[in-house]
């Protein structure tokens, strides 16, 4: 007979498999971290990754995508209510018997993480708001609108990581938000062609496009000219400034968690640099290669001496 402890452990293993089997441009719960952090991070990643896939992947109708996301929202509501009414909620040092029953391993693990680490569940609701926005919104009029979207889609992840590491100071949150928003923008600019071709989404501010005479058809037809090159250069300049304003986080943190964050930051910086070199072709998607990975790891280990 499988015990509750084994069920929870298996749920975490399920989440870890999701994290390990999906390509990302940055490390997700790498082996640099202790298992005590790897499992929680994988649970958070599995939740976010699967919900993001509801909004993006497959040939589902808009209504069905929203239905799947609403089901996730209902699960979060159930977790919140369960934790609120859990008899031993305040006795955080003796809560090994906590168990949230669900037919989805992701939520068994996620509830365990939210409870034991006392994570603000509002951060997970924000992520779902962003994924629903992905379903309903395909254009952004201004850069400010894009930043507002990033506050929902990206910043909660960084904040969750800080809470897991018990380092969510106001200062660290500001740095983390800058890095996470920067990473989201970098992701937009490396996937311009893919987003337009596969999901008809455009994450370039329409007012900037209009000012330079760039039309949506130019993007759809993968036109490269002076105007499109100038457009992407503008986006990358302010993204660079924003992203690097969060760099002090790599210094304020310590231990293995700090190394993980440095590797994430350096991975994003590497992609950003590749984008900055490729402004002559805004549709060329950069990827990290083995030599990039070795360089990132070396820089991460000796970060304080190099930066």
Query: pLDDT tens for residues 281-294?
Result: 999 999 888 899 99
Backbone angles phi, psi at 30, to 5 degrees: -65, 170
pLDDT at 31: 62
Query: pLDDT tens for residues 80-103?
Result: 999 998 865 545 545 457 899 999
Q: Is a pLDDT exceeding 60 seen at residue 24? A: no
Mean pLDDT for all residues in the chain: 91
3-state secondary structure of 50: helix
Q: What is the mean pLDDT of residues 3-14?
A: 94
What stretches of the chain show up as alpha helix (H) in DSSP?
4-20, 35-56, 62-84, 105-117, 122-136, 143-153, 155-164, 170-190, 192-199, 206-212, 216-220, 226-244, 249-252, 255-277, 290-301, 303-306
Query: pLDDT tens for residues 95-148?
Result: 457 899 999 999 999 999 999 999 999 999 999 999 999 999 999 999 999 999
Q: CATH says 1-136 is which class?
A: mainly alpha
Tokens describing residue 102: 């669900």
**Residue 94, C-beta contacts closer than 8 angstroms, at least 6 positions apart:** 88
pLDDT at 291: 92
Count how many Cα atoms sit within 13 Å of the Cα of residue 35 in the half-sphere of its side chain. 3
Long-range (24+ apart) CB contacts under 8 A made by 108-112 are 108/7, 108/8, 108/11, 109/8, 109/11, 109/12, 109/14, 109/15, 109/39, 109/42, 109/43, 109/46, 110/43, 110/44, 110/46, 110/47, 110/79, 111/79, 111/82, 111/83, 112/8, 112/11, 112/12, 112/43
CATH match for 139-307 among 1.20.1250.20, 1.10.600.10, 1.10.287.610, 1.20.140.10: 1.10.600.10
> For the chain, which residues make up each domain, given as ranges?
1-136, 139-307
Q: Is a pLDDT exceeding 50 seen at residue 25? A: no
pLDDT at 271: 96
pLDDT at 32: 67
Q: What is the mean pLDDT of residues 184-198?
A: 96
Q: What is the pTM of this model?
A: 0.91
pLDDT band for position 35 (cuts 50, 70, 90): confident
Q: Which of 119, 116, 99, 117 is nearest to 107 (CA)?
A: 99
> What distance, in Å, lies between the first and last C-alpha atoms of the chain?
53
pLDDT band for position 27 (cuts 50, 70, 90): low
Q: Is a pLDDT exceeding 50 seen at residue 237? A: yes
Q: How far from the centroid of its chain's Cα atoms is residue 298's Cα?
A: 24
Rounded Cα distance between 263 and 81, Å, is: 36
Rounded Cα distance between 134 and 149, Å, is: 9
pLDDT band for position 58 (cuts 50, 70, 90): confident
């Amino acid at each position: 007979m499988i015990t509750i402890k084994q069920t929870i452990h298996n749920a975490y293993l399920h989440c870890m498999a999701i994290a390990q089997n999906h390509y990302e441009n940055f490390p997700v719960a790498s082996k640099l971290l202790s298992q005590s952090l790897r499992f929680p991070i994988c649970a958070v990643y599995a939740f976010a990754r699967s919900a993001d896939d509801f909004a993006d992947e497959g040939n589902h109708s808009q209504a069905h995508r929203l239905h799947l996301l609403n089901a996730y929202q209902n699960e979060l509501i159930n977790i919140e209510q369960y934790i609120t009414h859990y008899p031993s909620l305040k006795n955080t040092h003796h809560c090994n018997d906590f168990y949230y029953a669900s037919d989805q391993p992701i939520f068994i693990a996620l509830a365990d993480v939210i409870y034991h680490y006392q994570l603000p569940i509002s951060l997970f609701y924000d992520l779902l708001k962003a994924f629903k926005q992905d379903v309903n919104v395909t254009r952004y009029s201004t850069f400010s609108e894009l930043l507002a979207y990033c506050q929902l889609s990206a910043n909660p992840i960084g904040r969750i990581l800080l809470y897991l590491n018990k380092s969510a100071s106001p200062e660290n949150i500001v740095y983390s938000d800058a890095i996470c928003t920067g990473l989201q923008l970098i992701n937009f600019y490396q996937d311009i062609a893919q987003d337009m071709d596969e999901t008809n989404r455009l994450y370039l501010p329409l007012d900037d496009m209009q000012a330079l005479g760039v039309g949506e058809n130019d993007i759809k037809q993968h036109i490269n000219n002076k105007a499109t090159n100038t457009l992407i250069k503008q986006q990358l300049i302010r993204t660079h400034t924003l992203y690097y304003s969060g760099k002090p986080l790599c210094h304020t943190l310590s231990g293995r968690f700090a190394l993980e964050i440095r590797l994430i930051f350096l991975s994003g910086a590497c992609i950003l640099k590749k984008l900055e070199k490729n402004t002559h072709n805004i549709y060329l998607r950069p990827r990290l290669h083995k030599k990039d990975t070795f360089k990132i790891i070396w820089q991460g280990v000796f970060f304080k001496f190099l930066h």
